[in-house]
């Protein structure tokens, strides 16, 4: 996994942890879409880009990725190992 990740023309990066988790430490370039409200907010995600999904351990991002595929998103990637395996820099909103 790269040390820094940026949203770009080909991909959109989302973190499905809860707000308080995201605010403690997040990867620059990721946008917070908490899984607890995901069914109400996922429609904002672009269907014409790859969606890269992360969470703390990979369980919630796997659920979010499966949900997106059920909704017709064709190019969705779950980051295995998630934040627990992330060795790069993180930002904090606190």
pLDDT tens digits, residue range 13-55?
Answer: 999 999 999 999 999 999 999 999 999 999 999 999 999 999 9
Q: What pTM does this model have?
A: 0.89
**Model confidence pLDDT, tens digit, residues 50-83:** 999 999 999 999 999 999 999 999 999 999 899 9
Catalytic residue among 53, 55, 64, 82: 55
Tell me the CA distances in angstroms from 35 to 38, 62, 89, one per residue in order.
Answer: 5, 11, 23
55 in active site: yes
What is the fold of 11-85?
Oxidized Rhodanese; domain 1 (3.40.250)
């Amino acid at each position: 996994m790269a040390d820094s990740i940026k949203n770009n023309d080909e991909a959109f990066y989302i973190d499905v942890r809860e707000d308080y988790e995201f605010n403690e430490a997040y990867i620059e370039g990721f946008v917070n879409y908490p899984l607890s409200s995901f069914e109400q907010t996922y429609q904002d995600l672009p269907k014409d880009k790859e969606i890269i999904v992360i969470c703390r351990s990979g369980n919630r991002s796997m659920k979010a990725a499966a949900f997106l595929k059920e909704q017709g998103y064709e190019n969705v990637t779950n980051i295995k190992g998630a934040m627990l395996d992330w060795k790069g820099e993180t930002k904090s909103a606190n």
